[in-house]
Amino acid sequence: MSIAGRDPADPDASSDDVAARPHGSFFGRRKGHRLRAHQAELIEHLLPRLALDIGGPTPSDLAELFDPPGEDVRLEIGFGGGEHLIAEARAFPNLGFIGCEPYVNGMAKILAQIEAHNIGNIRLFAGDAAELLAWLPARSLARIDLIHPDPWPKRRHWKRRFVQDATVAAMARVLKAGGEFRFVSDIADYCAWTLAYLARSADFIWTAERVSDWRLPWADYTMTRYGRKAEREGRVAAYLQFRKVG
């Protein structure tokens, strides 16, 4: 698979498949393979019950979006097929989880898992994560995960990488003091890029103290489909963890 146009919902897609996208967004196309009948039904009927409406007022307490209210709320940006988000939500039923994914096929896959496992502590946003971050209340999240994002390796596309000064500042605004930003990638250049952007932010510290802290997955980490493929192909991922200060 070419890394130039990685689509979490369609791992065989290439950059040639990427359609026109809104200016300034951090994702490519919104739809890949044609949905099966039940997937389309889930998009039509289940997604509206779980979807966040960022056109409305910002909630004073994100925990109230869940029933029962979550003790803390975490966000996963670009959840792809949803393996990691589903595992997290099932492992921590007392927490609330928000999944952001613009690709329709990825959304259909996670909806099928939510239905199959009767998961009640996930809410979804089918759009640009930058818009979601702008809508979220300040200091409302305990953690943000960004796992194997599109690296946009060509220099002219670097402005589409999610990690930028503006998004780092946006994440700092919505994370609680002591909250975490977790980043996983097998693209060395994007890992170095992320370390550089977070290092120049006064709002975050990199928590690694030894090599194993960033070379090995966290103890409770669920490997994604793409992560397993990267391992089979000999690509080594870095697991970067940053803590919000102040």
Q: Residue 176: which CATH number?
A: 3.40.50.150
Residues in the chain: 246
* pLDDT of 7: 41
The per-residue pLDDT for range 144-193, each reduced to its tens digit, is 999 999 999 999 999 999 999 999 999 999 999 999 999 999 999 999 99
Q: If you write DSSP's letter for every residue of 45-80 in order, what string do you get?
A: HTHHHHB--TTSPPPS-GGGGSSSPPSSEEEEE--T
Q: What 3-state class would DSSP assign to 170? A: helix
Residue 42 lies in a domain: yes
pLDDT band of 57, cuts 50, 70, 90: confident
Residue 154 lies in a domain: yes
Q: Which domain holds residue 174?
A: 33-244
The yes-or-no answer on residue 150 being catalytic is: yes
- The catalytically annotated residue of 7, 145, 150, 186 is 150
Locus of tokens 């999240």: 141
CA distance 185 to 140: 26
Residue 4 lies in a domain: no
**Helix pair angle (188-199, 165-174), 10° resolution:** 60
Residue 126 lies in a domain: yes
CA distance 77 to 80: 9
Residue 101 lies in a domain: yes
* pLDDT of 11: 36
Residue 111 lies in a domain: yes
pLDDT band of 246, cuts 50, 70, 90: confident
* pLDDT of 201: 98
Residue 2 lies in a domain: no
pLDDT over 70 percentage in the chain: 87
Mean per-residue pLDDT over the chain, rounded: 87
Number of domains in the chain: 1
The per-residue pLDDT for range 80-117, each reduced to its tens digit, is 999 999 999 999 999 999 999 999 999 999 999 999 99
Residue 24 lies in a domain: no
Phi/psi class of residue 60: alpha, beta or left (left: φ > 0; alpha: ψ in -120 to 50)? alpha
* pLDDT of 148: 95
Residue 115: what residue type? Answer: E
